[in-house]
Amino acid sequence: MTTSTPSGPRARTRRTARLAATAALVLAVGGGLAACGSGSSGAQAKAPDVTVPNAATTQAARQPDPLRAAEPTRVVIASAGVDASPVLRLGLDEKQELEVPPVDKAELAGWYTGSVTPGEKGASVIVAHYDTAEGPALLRDVKKMHVGDAIEVGRKDGSTAVFRIRETQQVDKTDFPTNKVYGKTDRPELRLITCGGPIKNGHRSANIIFYADLVKVK
């Protein structure tokens, strides 16, 4: 099922709000995930340090038409053993940094409400933990994810947006590619962000980013 992107005053208001939220995030330090890892400078990691190799392929030549707005309800990543529902709504914290799922919900993913919903035109942003102070979390098997793997996102309208990973990137949090992740795109795309690398000052020192293209709607 594919439909056109909505128009009219309500849609314009929603897009304006998202642009404002994204602009605020771009101004935040790094724009990535700061609050992930053990959360304590003296704590020991309860999961092994993880590194995902940088890799990329070309964009999908053809894509389904963009979908109407519908919030995500489920995330399925077969290669990493992920099947999580519901999907949390995330915004910006008091430091104007991207929120992450709370520790007691580390087995769930979150959708950044300042981005488009998955399947709409633009970059939709989903966040999940690799680990927390309590131990391994939803993306504990993130290193099993590769270019070409599928990320399926169930939506509130009953459809499922299927994305194919086009690029994997691991970067130090101080070098987070804010514009690349949150910048404008004329295609329906997905960004899945988690943390990795060694723990420094109580938190994972790197972000792992998956860039994915919409390839199918079920």
| Kind of pairing between the strands at 150-155 and 72-77 | antiparallel
199: enclosing H helix or E strand: strand 188-200
Asked if the model's pLDDT at residue 42 lies above 50, the reply is: no
Tokens representing residue 26 in the block: 């771009």
pLDDT computed for residue 160 by the predictor:
98
pLDDT score, position 46 = 78
| Eight-class DSSP state of 92 | B
Please say if the pLDDT value at position 185 is more than 90.
yes
- pLDDT band for 18, please (50, 70, 90 cuts): low
Coil, strand or helix: which one is 79?
helix
pLDDT band at 62; cut points 50, 70, 90: confident
The CA distance from 98 to 92, in Å, is 5
Res. 79 pLDDT band, cuts 50 70 90? very high
Average pLDDT of span 171-198: 93
Could you please state the CATH topology (level 3) that the domain comprising 9-217 is classified under: Sortase; Chain: A; (2.40.260)
Query: Quick one: 156 exposed, middle or buried, by C-beta within 10 A (0-12, 13-18, 19+)?
Result: middle
pLDDT (0 to 100) of residue 74: 98
CA-wise closest residue to 68 among 179, 126, 155, 189: 155
pTM, to two decimals: 0.84
Residue 150 φ then ψ, to 5°: -95, 145
Separation CA 193–CA 180 (nearest Å): 13
Report CA torsion sign: 162, 47, 37, 168. negative
From the list 68, 69, 125, the residue with the least C-alpha distance to 100 is 125
What's residue 193's pLDDT?
96
C-alpha 149/C-alpha 166 separation (Å) is 9
Q: Is 143 helix (H, G, I), strand (E, B) or coil?
A: helix
Mean pLDDT to the nearest integer, 41-64: 81
pLDDT score for 29? 39
Categorize the per-residue pLDDT at 161 as very low, low, confident or very high, splitting at 50, 70 and 90: very high
